[in-house]
Structure 1
């Protein structure tokens, strides 16, 4: 137990320079989702300039010329230059600006939700590193205890107190424990490599302690990253329906024209200008498919929001049940480990006094180590469950 405690303390001391928030931020900067969400946000911000424009679409230029060259040859020429400006329909510009604002908020929420998902991966990798480090420290402590026992048995065999078979059995147990040390070291190295690949950092911060959630923890769900993203997705779909409703027809256009007429056979040039209004006629064949598609998108977004609320609530409840169960298991396993350690100490004294044989001693020692390892593992799993509950509640460091 002392070796385990010292190993865990040393591991924690090395990781003190790194916080979980720093690890999550490092992983988020390395994640592909970070680049994608930044692209969504830039696109939404670019759309804001479109919504603020005075025209529904970019103006267009018209240029035409008519002449009788090659026909009557009198020199008649007509040149016309025009610029058309698409106009907003009543309520269309406001609906477009509201949709752009909703899309911008959705892009920000997508970034927050993506960071929350990366935080879950970081928490899982952090817990895996600490569980594997604990496993390695435990089997290493067991190996050291069995090595000490093997050396003691060998000395007693040489002194004639024990049979040579006991020395072989003790050494075999130590070699088996040494194999488990190598396996645990491999598992720890793999967990550390996964952590380094995810975060780019060498050390994992220690598992934190979290207070139990308050009775009004359900109020936090309004700000849960997944629920906020789903809610804003539904809001954006709702604004899209409003925009489609306000865009019943194509944009009308105001056309400003400048015209120059040149008469034939030396007539003077005549310049004129004019305004025209082009009003496209909307039809049900055009509008109904657009409205149906927008309404279908809204219904899907609202259904996904309802399902997401149920899933988040179930996840929070499940993590609470797990945390309660692990606390109960740990109390029982801790008492069992204390009893088995006390029993192993009694049998150890009896073995040194020659009153107990080696197989009983080995079994007692193995049972005590297994119970202590289980208790320590459950304690680490409690910290992991507390972190998962915080994650389920949508809390990101």
Structure 2
């Protein structure tokens, strides 16, 4: 919601919708264009004539709608408004997905940092114990160097993860105005039943946008079909003639002008809209196929993420338990330190995999809710 409130494209799309609505209102007017004024003045004095012939003529005319043209123009404007409305929904969905991606990445990095900090502290104590054992001649230099190497490697990964997290926070702040990471821990399968979220591709805003663009193209084609010639004009003419001894000094008449249809004008106009319909049908079909496949992939991702999470949880529990057992065994001299270090690295990897699997599952649920229409 914070990201959407400051999204720069929101105002632009809203302006498009407002403009289209006003165009639809304007199409309900009686005439397709404003009145046309014409004036004429003629005087023979300019050529030196002695007859004294002067003519004043004024004309006002208005263009007329062609049959069905006004309704088609209004329908086209309403179609533009629907396109803008669906563009707003698509942009809102894109904003929600972008926030979710940053939140997921930040959550994974935060969990990784927490695990690495914990392991770094444990390895720090281990390194001090190995150093004491080295001075006492109980371990070799190789064991000490292996411990230092493992500690430095974990600290290096920790610094890199912190840097990546700061980058995510910076991106999140530019998107929402706040660098605080959204909490994904409360997102689970219960939310799907609470919001009655159903993955129906036909409810996806991107499908609705593609359908509305196709309807827009067909509406524009209807306008072109009903605009088979320039609009005819009808008007009133007032003419005053001043001539010596002339009995007709003032005249009033009706003027009508109707350009005839021309294939040179009509065919390119109509074919342009036919091409637009072809492109819109292509894009609509591709959108239905692509988004249907995306929904299937999302369902599979949620199922797979749940299974991976179960396996990662068991791996995390047992590898951490094994690392603790080997730590006790090393301290009493039953195993070399190198075996304990390997076990600790395995436990760290398992913990990171578990954290990532947990976030992936929650992100899949959140994305499912967004795509099913539950957008803030």
Residue 220 of structure 2 corresponds to 240
SS at structure 2 position matched to 1:217: coil
Partner of 2:160: 183
Aligned-pair CA distance for 1:77: 0.9
Unmatched segments (≥5 aa) in structure 2: none
The separation in 1 between residues aligned to 2:25 and 2:50, in whole angstroms, is 51
Q: Which runs of 5+ in 1 are unaligned?
A: 1-20
Q: Does 1:83 align with 2:23?
A: no
Q: Deviations over 1:139-162 (max 9, x none)?
A: 111111101222233344556655
Give how far 1:394 is off: 5.0
The corresponding residue for 1:330 is 309
Task: Give the TM-score taking structure 1 as reference length.
Answer: 0.85
Q: Retained in 1: the 8 A contact 2:43–2:53?
A: yes
SS of aligned partner of 1:52: coil
State the secondary structure of the residue aligned to 1:93. Answer: helix
Note the 1:2-81 alignment, pairs <5 A. Answer: 21-22=1-2, 24-26=3-5, 29-31=6-8, 33-69=9-45, 70-81=47-58
Aligned counterpart, 1:211: 189
Match of 2:104 in 1: 127
After superposition, where does 1:203-352 map in structure 2 within 5 Å?
Answer: 203-207=180-184, 209-211=187-189, 217-218=198-199, 220-264=200-244, 270-352=249-331
Q: Which residue of 1 aligns with 2:366?
A: 387
Note the C-alpha offset of 1:82.
Answer: 0.8
SS of equivalent residue, structure 2 residue 27? helix
Q: CA deviation at 1:288?
A: 2.3
Find the residue that maps to 1:79 and give its secondary structure.
strand
Q: 1:258 to 1:223 in 2, by over 3 A?
A: farther
Alignment coverage as a number of residue pairs:
371
Checking the alignment, whether the CA contact within 8 Å between 2:25 and 2:74 is kept in structure 1 is: no
Preserved CA contact (<8 Å) 2:38 2:58: yes
Kindly state the Cα deviation for residue 164 of structure 1 after the two structures are TM-superposed: 5.9
Distance 1:330 1:223, change over 3 A: closer
Q: 1:151 aligns with which of 128, 134, 153?
A: 128
In 2, the alpha carbon distance for the partners of 1:366 and 1:99 equals: 64
2:35–2:63 CA contact under 8 A, matched in 1: yes
Contact 2:203/2:372 (<8 A) preserved: no
